[in-house]
Structure 1
Amino acid sequence: MAKTLALAALFLLLPEFTLSNSEGDALYTLRKSFSDPENVLQSWDPTLVTPCTWFHITCNQNSQVTRVDLGNTNLSGNLVPDLGKLEHLQYLELYRNNIQGTIPSELGNLKSLISLDLYNNNISGKIPPTLGKLKSLVFLRLNNNKLSGQIPRVLADISSLKVVDVSSNNLCGTIPTTGAFEHIPLSNFDHNPRLEGPELQGLATYDTNC
């Protein structure tokens, strides 16, 4: 009986060490999916209470992850759906690496996201329409990848969106001209051999082979 009470008291005293941190778990899943030849993720220790002391991670005063800064760090591998659990994330900076695979649709859950920078990688597949749910997004830079398919029209409904760059991919269809896309330079769509000119009166034309 005494032994049982002692164990119960220990768990009550140390709850933060026995409960997992969902943000830390999500980031550690990302770490496991990456090849990290320069050991930039060496400090990402899943046994710590929160990931706020990890290098390249910024948290707010409530110990919630707000930035992931891993641009130009020679990482390779795939993005993971678990990133969608970082609900307070404002900046996801993964540019100039060798990231492959697709953009997880779960990134549409990052309701606080301001900047999504995935440019200069080897990301393929389509731009997820779920990114249209990112109503705080200002910067969307996906240029210099291997993305295909059409530009999701729901992105035009993001009123905060100021910068969109999808140049140097393999996108197709037409260039949106309404909403957030009204003032985006046409050069930000360059070097997509199958992407046609601006839409006539904001009307998309759909290529069945796109």
Structure 2
Amino acid sequence: MANLIFHFCFIFFMVCSGLCQSHFTNSDRGALLAFKSSVRDRYNNLQNWSNSSSICNWSGVTCDSENENERVRILSLAQMGLKGTLPSQIGNLSFLVKLDLSSNNLYGKLPKELFQLQRLETLNLSYNAFGGEIPSSMGNLFTLQHLILGNNSFGGIIPKSISNLSRLETLDLNSNSLQGSIPFDIGRLQHLKILRLSVNKLSGIMPPSISNISSLERLILSLNLLQGYIPIEMNKLTKLKIIYLGGNKLTGQIPRSIGNFIMLQELSLSNNNLQGGIPNEISNLTNVKNIYLDNNQLSGHIPKSIGKLTTLQELSLANNFFEGIIPNEIRSLTNLKIMDLSANQLFGYIPRGIENLTMLQNLNLENNNLEGSIPLEIGNLQQPETLLLSQNKLSEYIPSEIFNISTLKVLSLYDNSLAGSLPSDFGYGLSNLQELYLWGNKLSGRIPNI
């Protein structure tokens, strides 16, 4: 009798297991087919999505290899030209770990069922046309590590529930129409490495709680309406590699604690209302490649310590109130490709050490008070494409060495006090020249044929 009962229970278990397996498989299959029916598949990328084959063999579908029930683990359909909406059945893919629908033409609001996917680690819906508000139920995806919703049409505020996503490493809401302030509780995201909220309409201050995210490597808040000071507390973020705060309404000074960011590679504070000088501590940024401080109200001298930034490739200090001389220490910036110091109040001579900048491609010193002659050494530059020295007080003759820079495309020397005549054959050396500006000088002689 006992054997009979055991045999009956075993058969019952096997039948139920088969039914459960069939149920789960059909549930995932139904969800995928619902998605297929809700989109226009212009390039037939979903052509093999049919009942005649296993869903694990469908394009963009990866199943759980350790699960006999063939549950969908990854749905990756990026850049497939799909157009349509996201159906509610997407919430039935309960084993889904990664959903990547980026770079398509999907639109509409996100279905509430999406936020039932309790195993989801990566949600990438970027470069689509999704709209509406980001629902507070987003905070229910507790396992989420990468939330990427950039380049859509989301509006409203950033929900405070985002701070519930304690495992989050990437938060990218770039290029939407988000308003309101950055949630103060964002500092609770202790594993965050990338915070990208640029190109929105966010206002208010930068919350000091950001300084609690010690793991942060990229802070990208540019092109918003943020006000107030750069928080001094940010000096704790010693792992930062990228800081983009340009295109806001930030005021105050560049904090001296900027020297703490010894791993920093890119710094952009341009197009704000920052005042004061460049702190000497900037010399600690020995890994920095790009510094953009243009279009502010910065003043004082360009610090000599800037010569210690030997990894620097791009330096823009244009449209400020810097004065004094261009420090000769710039000769150490041998990796520099772009230097823009235009529209300041710099005076003195163009330093002869400029010949050391053999990588320089674009030099802009326009609209200052520079005087003296153009140094002969400028002709030793190996690959400049743009040389802009107009609207200064430069005098004497134009060195013939300039006319041998074959890479030069734009040469602008107007509104100076340059004298002498142009060599008759200068067009041969400047074989790639596209733009030449010489008016407002004291040049004489004939205009050569070029």
What pairs up with 1:131-142 in 2 under 5 angstroms? 131-142=138-149
How far off is 1:180 after superposition? 1.5
Q: Does 1:144 align with 2:151?
A: yes
**Aligned-partner residue type, residue 68 of structure 1:** L
How far off is 1:193 after superposition? 2.3
Partner residue of 1:112 out of 119, 136, 139: 119
Q: Tell me, in whole angstroms, the C-alpha distance in 1 between the residues paired with 2:191 and 2:50.
A: 44
- Cα RMSD of the aligned pairs, angstroms, is 2.5
How far off is 1:198 after superposition? 2.9
Partner residue of 1:55 out of 59, 83, 86: 59
Provide the secondary structure at the position in 1 that maps to 2:137: helix
What pairs up with 1:15-94 in 2 under 5 angstroms? 21-48=26-53, 50-61=54-65, 62=67, 63-94=70-101
What corresponds to 2:7 in structure 1?
none
Taking structure 2 as the reference length, what is the TM-score of the superposition?
A: 0.39
Which consecutive aligned stretches of 4+ in structure 1 deviate over 2 angstroms post-superposition? 181-186, 193-202
How far off is 1:89 after superposition? 0.1
Provide the secondary structure at the position in 1 that maps to 2:30: helix
List alignment gaps of at least 5 residues for structure 2: 1-14, 211-450
Distance 1:157 1:39, change over 3 A: same
What corresponds to 2:189 in structure 1?
180
**Aligned-partner residue type, residue 198 of structure 1:** M
Contact 2:155-2:178 within 8 A present in 1 as well: yes
Distance 1:110 1:101, change over 3 A: same
Q: Tell me, in whole angstroms, the C-alpha distance in 1 between the residues paired with 2:56 and 2:132.
A: 32
* Higher RCO (CA < 8 A, seq sep 6+): 1
**Aligned-partner residue type, residue 136 of structure 1:** T
**Aligned-partner residue type, residue 189 of structure 1:** L
Bigger Rg, structure 1 or 2? 2
Q: Tell me, in whole angstroms, the C-alpha distance in 1 between the residues paired with 2:144 and 2:19.
A: 36
Distance 1:15 1:107, change over 3 A: closer
Partner residue of 1:192 out of 187, 200, 221: 200
Contact 1:106-1:130 within 8 A present in 2 as well: no
Contact 2:168-2:192 within 8 A present in 1 as well: no
List alignment gaps of at least 5 residues for structure 1: 1-11, 203-210
Q: Does 1:99 align with 2:106?
A: yes
Partner residue of 1:128 out of 135, 140, 161: 135
How far off is 1:104 after superposition? 1.2
Q: Tell me, in whole angstroms, the C-alpha distance in 1 between the residues paired with 2:177 and 2:191.
A: 22
Q: Tell me, in whole angstroms, the C-alpha distance in 1 between the residues paired with 2:78 and 2:113.
A: 21
Contact 1:171-1:195 within 8 A present in 2 as well: no
Q: Tell me, in whole angstroms, the C-alpha distance in 2 between the residues paired with 1:90 and 1:146.
A: 25
Q: Tell me, in whole angstroms, the C-alpha distance in 1 between the residues paired with 2:19 and 2:208.
A: 60
Q: Cα deviation per residue 1:74-107 (whole Å; 9 max; x = unaligned)?
A: 1110011110111100000000011010111211
Provide the secondary structure at the position in 1 that maps to 2:56: helix
Aligned residues: 187
Contact 2:170-2:194 within 8 A present in 1 as well: no
Q: Tell me, in whole angstroms, the C-alpha distance in 2 between the residues paired with 1:184 and 1:152.
A: 19
Q: Tell me, in whole angstroms, the C-alpha distance in 2 between the residues paired with 1:198 and 1:171.
A: 15
Provide the secondary structure at the position in 1 that maps to 2:181: strand
Distance 1:201 1:59, change over 3 A: closer
How far off is 1:122 after superposition? 0.6
> What fraction of aligned residue pairs are identical, expressed as a percent?
32
Distance 1:190 1:15, change over 3 A: closer
Contact 1:98-1:122 within 8 A present in 2 as well: yes
How far off is 1:119 after superposition? 0.4
Contact 2:140-2:164 within 8 A present in 1 as well: no
Distance 1:75 1:181, change over 3 A: farther
Contact 1:149-1:172 within 8 A present in 2 as well: yes
Provide the secondary structure at the position in 1 that maps to 2:171: strand
Provide the secondary structure at the position in 2 that maps to 1:175: coil
Distance 1:105 1:195, change over 3 A: farther
Q: Cα deviation per residue 1:138-188 (whole Å; 9 max; x = unaligned)?
A: 0000000000011111111111001001010001111123211895666x1
